[in-house]
Structure 1
Amino acid sequence: MEQPGAGAADAVAMDPSPSPSMAAPQAPPVVEWPEGGALTRDWVAGLASTLDWCSRHLPADRLPAVLPPALVQRLVLAAAAILHREPNLVRVDPRPGQSVVVVGDVHGQLHDVIFLLRDAGFPSEERVFVFNGDYVDRGAWGLETLLLLLAWKVLLPNCVFLLRGNHESKYCTSVYGFEKEVMTKYKDQGPQVYRKFLRCFEDLPLATIIAGCVYTAHGGIFRGTIVLPSKRSKKAKKGRKNKADFTVDTMSIRLGSLDELLKARRTVLDPPWEGQNLIPGDVLWSDPSLQMGLSPNQERGIGLLWGPDITQQFLRTNNLKLIIRSHEGPDARDKRHDLLRIDKGYTIDHDVECGKLITLFSAPDYPQFQASEERYNNCGAYIVLHPPDFASPVFHSFEAVKPRPPAHPFYDFEEVIDSDEELNLDAMDSGTSSQ
């Protein structure tokens, strides 16, 4: 059978925003696994164009007609097997002449991801990609976006690195749309497909060190102290409902080490907000602050806030020059008047003696769905780190691909809280939705 991506589909891949007045091209063939068993560049390019075509011309629940559930599960399992073998902290050591592209949150904005890949230059022996989490939720094409990136991972496992974001969890996907998206698109097969994605989430690494001098993680810094809940907090846990009840002994918090990060247990769907292993929750949920020191992240109810002094300590201790994290979009920064807005897709939050802390966000015109008519109209951005030092980031801002294909949200964006704040921690404990 003809491989996906032939003919008209190739044109769609090259131009992710064809005029809506154009006649729909002939439907692409059903995607099948390559006969030889190994993915090729042509196959991945074909998958991208097929996913793009389906997003523009098929109702969401018709996707299985082109992308069968068996193919989806095989791709997810193939990627998960590779990810599982990677450590919590992946050392990305570029070959001579290789540059590194770092990408922040993309949140199911498939067409912007297709544009970004083409604009930055596709993964290759000359170009390594590090994706910093939050592939799903909030956008209408989380499934397609994640599948495309997993395909690149399977094709080029040493040139594409996928880290975990806080939305790669059962709790967030049950609240912010990805679970419902999978169920809508795959119906009877939905529960089985969704479970495969959840298992894959558990295998995603937590952080990278690029060229020995750049630390990347979705949220950022993490603690090293094992904090055990007090008797009082155990009794209160049953009735805890919001951030006001989030209490940690701040005297017990110290900055964690890379060795502790390597030893952390990452294979949990919903990282703990208290107990013996807080490192994954910190890495995925923490935020920078202009206040000195380490403190509980009261606003989110999980993770930490850390100041410029902690950035300096982390960089100096580990002989690093940059921290690149993501996790905060324009809606989050709109509520944080102590830090810079993220309209260009990036901010430099800490500039200290040893280096810089950068927040990178790669979903332009975000969120896709919102209750108010006034939009942030933010750009997305990606960073290119060039040899030989890799410590002088080059920022590339880009606007959203317009117009987006018509789509319906998979969550109630008028009811669901913004920016992942005020978590229902009881729901996270039980693995159920707060809705």
Structure 2
Amino acid sequence: MADTMGNENSSVTENDANDDLPVDPSAVTEEDKKKAEELKEEANAFFKNEDYTRAIEKYSAAIKLNPFVSPYYGNRSFAYLRTECFGYALSDASKALSLDKNYLKAYYRRASANMALGKFKLALRDFEAVTKVKPNDKDARVKYNECNKICKRIAFEKAIASDENFAKSVADSIDIESLVIEPSYDGPHLEDGKVTVDFVNALTEAYKEQKKLPKKYVCQILIQAKNIFCEQESLVYIDVPEKSKFTICGDIHGQYYDLLNVFKMNGKPSEENPYLFNGDFVDRGSFSVECIMTLLSYKLLYPKHFFMARGNHESLTMNQMYGFEGEVKSKYSAQLCELFTEVFNWLPLSHCINKKILIMHGGLFASDEVTLDDIAATQRNRQPPESGIMCELLWSDPQPQKGRAPSKRGVGVQFGPDVTKTFLERNNLEYVVRSHEVKNEGYEVMHDGKCITVFSAPNYCDTMGNKGAYITVTGDNLTPNFTSYEAVPHPNVKPMAYANPFFGLF
């Protein structure tokens, strides 16, 4: 959960904020209490203006002066939710409740964080606690009922998934020939069921005009793409010849018009202009179908020169919460949601360029013992687990300080420059490239130049004001070159337009 607004360099982390706190309420002076309230009001103003990083800084400063006020933690928890730091949000909400078990907003915050992490039963427990305290509160009852519906649906889906009658994959069960192209359709056509250059060029133009590709063609492209991904290992090795350029892009998150702008600036993908897109193609932005279908079409057109890695948002829980499932259902059907999930399950987890640059969506590992062979052998045809190599490849983040720390997201780990150095030396690599986090310039270089973040969705969610970026290298010079760019206009469809209605309850 490109997952991905957090910026550990500019915000005060929870651990920082808890250094040297007063341990006795009587030790807090009236002056400190007054100053803490002023800081809280400043934080609230930043939050209202969607400057969540500055809001977190101010809430943290207030906590440092007076750590015994539950709303400070509750408000900071809300800001962490907005920056996808779900681990910190959980911790702050729990701290708020330890100070005041009747502070109902903290139950909501903790439930929201658990919902975002797919821990619906834990979320339901908090909503239930609120309804017991306030049985006549309609708002609390609505939230409880909505979460309960999700829990029941998941239980039902698990039950039918265990039935052998449902074991057959969606890709195998679809009868392509029975799908009909309407006579009125005037968009691009596959040629003998295959993607061509003319098809992709026409498709990008049709999508630009908000036209829709017929379900038959979508199914054909998805099934063919799945077959290609199934043949690859979890770690794909890429050879870039001398003097040849190679482009690495980060999160796209359904921002189709910004994706087209990358191709306008850097050239369309081709055998002479290869690309790697490093996960989080979908969710949040409301043109996710257009993004993923364009990228998969290029994958079919140039299977050895166009690469796609799985991100944390290429997963069922994220798609259910952050918009992709809703968008696919709106534009097509629930069956296609299942087919997309099957394709996402087979996306490679990482890529290695010239055996020197390792690229993954999230980051490095809880153990120093992980090797490239371990990554290649990782079984990936599943939903991401909550720990282990696959989880960490999709969810981890770098931190400036040495060592490791619990993830601010609640999943994966945070790793320092020493962890990066050890991993690179063990595997004879020069540096790692990852995505997963918004950066003001679209990229950031950390860990003595050995850990690079690239994020390609400018003005993320139409609110963050960040630039997007992509990286280019050549086969004989693996030094990264960065290109930053601003967002371009898009049709008047807001981000998260198809997100789970649950988000509207907070």
Q: With structure 1 as the length reference, what TM-score do the two structures score?
A: 0.71
Do residues 68 (structure 1) and 214 (structure 2) align?
Answer: yes
Once the two structures are overlaid, the 10-residue window that deviates more, 313-322 or 102-111, is 313-322
Amino acid at match of 2:484: S
Do residues 283 (structure 1) and 393 (structure 2) align?
Answer: yes
Contact 2:235 2:350 in 1 (8 A): yes
Do residues 34 (structure 1) and 148 (structure 2) align?
Answer: no
Partner of 2:386: 273
1:262 to 376, 384, 398: 376
Contact 2:368 2:422 in 1 (8 A): no
Amino acid at match of 1:154: L
Partner of 1:346: 443
Partner of 2:353: 210
In structure 1, distance between residues paired with 2:311 and 2:223: 19
1:31-430 aligned within 5 A? 31-35=188-192, 37-54=193-210, 63=212, 67-186=213-332, 190-223=333-366, 253-269=367-383, 271-274=384-387, 278-297=388-407, 299-329=408-438, 342-351=439-448, 355-368=449-462, 375-390=463-478, 392-402=479-489, 404-408=490-494, 409-411=497-499, 415=503
Name stretches of at least 5 consecutive residues in structure 1 with no aligned partner: 1-26, 224-252, 330-341, 369-374, 418-434
Residues 40-88 of structure 1 deviation map (CA, whole Å, 9 limit, x = unaligned): 212111111111111xxx6xxxx3xxx1111101111111111111111
Amino acid at match of 1:273: E
**Whose Rg is larger?**
2
Residues 292-327 of structure 1 deviation map (CA, whole Å, 9 limit, x = unaligned): 223432x21211111000111111111211211000
Name stretches of at least 5 consecutive residues in structure 2 with no aligned partner: 1-183
Moved over 4 A (4+): none
In structure 2, distance between residues paired with 1:51 and 1:82: 24
In structure 1, distance between residues paired with 2:261 and 2:281: 15
How far is 1:192 from its partner?
1.1
Contact 1:41 1:155 in 2 (8 A): yes
Contact 2:190 2:196 in 1 (8 A): no
Residues 190-228 of structure 1 deviation map (CA, whole Å, 9 limit, x = unaligned): 1111111000001100001112211100001124xxxxx
- Cα 1:291–1:110, aligned 2, differ >3 Å: closer, same or farther? same
Residues 250-304 of structure 1 deviation map (CA, whole Å, 9 limit, x = unaligned): xxx44411111111111112x1114xxx11111000000122223432x212111
How much is the aligned-residue C-alpha RMSD, in angstroms?
A: 2.0
Amino acid at match of 2:202: G
Partner of 2:93: none
What secondary structure, in the 3-state scheme, does the structure 1 residue paired with 2:451 have? Answer: strand
Contact 2:368 2:419 in 1 (8 A): no
Task: Judging by fraction of residues, say which structure has more helix.
Answer: 2
Contact 2:323 2:498 in 1 (8 A): yes
In structure 1, distance between residues paired with 2:431 and 2:357: 5
Contact 2:242 2:474 in 1 (8 A): no
Amino acid at match of 2:187: V
What secondary structure, in the 3-state scheme, does the structure 2 residue paired with 1:196 have? Answer: helix
- Cα 1:296–1:179, aligned 2, differ >3 Å: closer, same or farther? same
Amino acid at match of 2:397: D
Amino acid at match of 1:33: L
Aligned length: 321
Amino acid at match of 2:377: K
What secondary structure, in the 3-state scheme, does the structure 2 residue paired with 1:378 have? Answer: coil
- Cα 1:405–1:165, aligned 2, differ >3 Å: closer, same or farther? same
